Amino acid sequence: MTSLFKDKNKVILVKPRVYIGDTISIGPGKIEILRQVGNLHSISSAARALGMPYKRAWLLIDTLNQGFGKPVIETTTGGKKGGGAVITRLGQDLINCYDALEKSLNQKTKDELNALRALAEFS
């Protein structure tokens, strides 16, 4: 393993994990699975695209559904292709709000991020 000690200008970025009330937590994992289901219209395809077990993907989605008391993904069964999944309006709003937060905090905490980066570059 190469030490990072001598690296210059390391990329630094921050991803948020948001806690709302007692039962909702939203981090990059849940947002990515939502985004992939929105693109691929299938939980199993989304899980595969992220290299995540289907069971875990389903659990992440169900945890959101339960926490919000309203679905972020709706599944359809049967039909020629054996059913699929669609993202709801709430699910899409969640992605949009999370992305806006991520963008904003990376812009607005540059000083604090630079202080952290300096620890890695000059320590």
Q: Which parts of 4-43 interact with a copy of itself (CB under 8 A)? A: 4-5, 7, 10-24, 26-28
Element (H, E) at 72: none
d(CA 117, CA 104): 19
Residue whose C-alpha is closest to residue 87's, from 50, 49, 26, 34: 34
> How many chain residues touch a copy of itself (CB under 8 A)?
48
Binding map of a copy of itself across residues 83-122, x = CB under 8 A, - = no contact: -------x--xx--xx-xx--xx--xx-xxx-xxx-xx--
User: How many angstroms separate the CA atoms of 81 and 69, rounded?
Assistant: 29
> What phi and psi values does residue 76 have, to the nearest 5 degrees?
-120, 140
| Site of interaction with a copy of itself (CB under 8 A) | 1, 3-5, 7, 10-24, 26-28, 66-70, 90, 93-94, 97-98, 100-101, 104-105, 108-109, 111-113, 115-117, 119-120, 123
